[in-house]
């Protein structure tokens, strides 16, 4: 397992699903984990489970001031910030374009796209001043192809993927390892919301078709190692059997 003793990782959307399992996996590798989410009770409970290496910070990633304050607190508490996992994302309300509520549609953009930018904007000055760091955005196959009734999700994920590519282009020479992870369909609350919508083929998938949330968590840990350096600036798909084998997933 990758040894992250002494390193600090900030994880957005850490209250459940991929984010919560990522916190557990990174803490197990020795890292200090900064848990960022709107659900204070959930991240407080997770921090209590993990122990002294965890810091829970209620935060709305759609507000830059919140994100900047979280990064500042991480640095104040643990002395730096080495890894940023941009995981926070929502898909509700699932709706066709012609009937979408404009305000709700825009809120998804605020979280899924602006939230990724805000994380990068707050973290990059800290990381570059320290000589480098790793920024990983949790992406989606929806970033690269249209899905019925997911216009907000597809558009936001496509934008977040491009932001990650821009982060690489602008900051690779400053020691920043920027990458994306497309995990495929994962057994999380989001998939329950998709299932309940009954719209598009993804909602018709059986629960057994989805991978467990600790698979992308383990992939994210592997991506912080030198073994993943060949993929810097790219998006890794966890659907790829070669990647799964490299991460050690079966």
Tokens of 109: 């953009």
Rounded to whole angstroms, what are the CA distances from 48 to 7, 146, 210?
Answer: 19, 40, 28
Which one is catalytic: 139, 140, 156, 237? 139
| Cα torsion angle, 35, 139, 122, 38, sign | negative
CB 247 within 8 A of CB 219: yes
Active-site pick, 157, 182, 218, 237: 157
Active site residue 157: yes
153 is catalytic: yes
Alpha-carbon distances of 176 from 84, 130, 172, 228, rounded to whole Å: 11, 10, 5, 13
139 is catalytic: yes
Phi/psi for 92 (5° steps) reads -80, 145
Catalytic pick from 151, 153, 218, 237? 153
Tokens 């966890």 correspond to what residue? 238
Distance between CA atoms of 23 and 33, rounded to whole angstroms? 6
Give the distance from CA 211 to its chain's centroid: 16
Which residues are tagged catalytic? 139, 153, 157
């Amino acid at each position: 397992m990758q040894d992250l003793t002494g390193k600090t990782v900030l994880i957005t959307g850490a209250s459940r699903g991929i984010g919560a399992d990522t916190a557990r996996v990174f803490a197990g590798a020795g890292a200090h984990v900064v848990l960022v989410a709107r659900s204070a009770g959930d991240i407080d409970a997770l921090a209590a489970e993990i122990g002294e290496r965890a810091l829970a910070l209620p935060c709305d990633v759609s507000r830059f001031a919140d994100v900047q304050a979280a990064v500042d607190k991480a640095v104040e508490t643990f002395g730096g910030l080495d890894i940023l996992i941009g995981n926070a994302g929502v898909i509700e309300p699932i709706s066709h374009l012609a009937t979408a509520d404009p305000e709700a549609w825009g809120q998804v953009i605020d979280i899924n796209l602006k939230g990724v930018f805000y994380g990068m904007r707050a973290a990059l000055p800290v990381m570059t001043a320290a000589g480098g760091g790793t920024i990983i955005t949790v992406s989606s196959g929806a970033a690269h192809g249209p899905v019925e009734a997911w216009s907000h999700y597809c558009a936001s994920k496509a934008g977040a993927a491009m932001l990650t590519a821009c982060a690489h282009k602008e900051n690779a020479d400053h020691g920043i390892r920027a990458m994306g992870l497309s995990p495929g369909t994962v057994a999380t609350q989001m998939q329950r919301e998709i299932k309940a919508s009954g719209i598009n083929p993804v909602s018709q998938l059986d629960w057994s078709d989805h991978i467990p949330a600790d698979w992308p968590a383990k992939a994210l840990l592997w991506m912080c190692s030198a073994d993943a350096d060949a993929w810097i600036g790219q998006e890794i798909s966890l659907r790829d059997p070669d990647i799964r084998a490299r991460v050690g997933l079966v």
